Amino acid sequence: QKEVEQNSGPLSVPEGAIASLNCTYSDRGSQSFFWYRQYSGKSPELIMFIYSNGDKEDGRFTAQLNKASQYVSLLIRDSQPSDSATYLCAVDMYSGGGADGLTFGKGTHLIIQP
């Protein structure tokens, strides 16, 4: 049974602080990992993806991947109230390339307190 686990939250972080979102996955053969942001009533939008061990930075966002521990995280620096949303971790658990669809965690609800 393929699984992607996230803490549902809510995770409350003061404005300007670092928000840390975590995700674990069950299939050791997974190859691609994605973070999506979803505002209430809207569809998910891609923040970033990672497929190599280590860190990947894009602006205020850093994705971290540890395949040995089957763990992926997202750090948001200098958190802003506009970052308040649900963050979805998604994993490509099949052959790679997303051809078989992604498996999503249930999401972490992040609240940035002004």
Partner 1 sequence: DVKVTQSSRYLVKRTGEKVFLECVQDMDHENMFWYRQDPGLGLRLIYFSYDVKMKEKGDIPEGYSVSREKKERFSLILESASTNQTSMYLCASSYLKLDSPLHFGNGTRLTVT
Question: Interface residues with partner 1 (CB under 8 A)?
Answer: 31-32, 34, 42-46, 49, 51, 88, 90, 96-107
C-alpha to C-alpha distance for 16 and 41, rounded to whole angstroms: 26
Q: Which is nearer to partner 1, 57 or 100 (CB)?
A: 100
Q: Which is nearer to partner 1, 30 or 73 (CB)?
A: 30
Q: Minimum CB separation from partner 1 for residue 77, in Å? A: 22
Q: Minimum CB separation from partner 1 for residue 83, in Å? A: 19
C-alpha to C-alpha distance for 113 and 66, rounded to whole angstroms: 30
Q: Which is nearer to partner 1, 25 or 34 (CB)?
A: 34
For 1-113, list the strands marked E by DSSP.
4-5, 11-14, 19-25, 32-38, 45-50, 54-58, 61-66, 71-76, 85-92, 103-104, 108-113
| CA proximity to 108, closest of 73, 66, 61, 79 | 73
Q: How many residues does the chain have?
A: 114
Q: Minimum CB separation from partner 1 for residue 6, in Å? A: 9
Q: Minimum CB separation from partner 1 for residue 44, in Å? A: 5
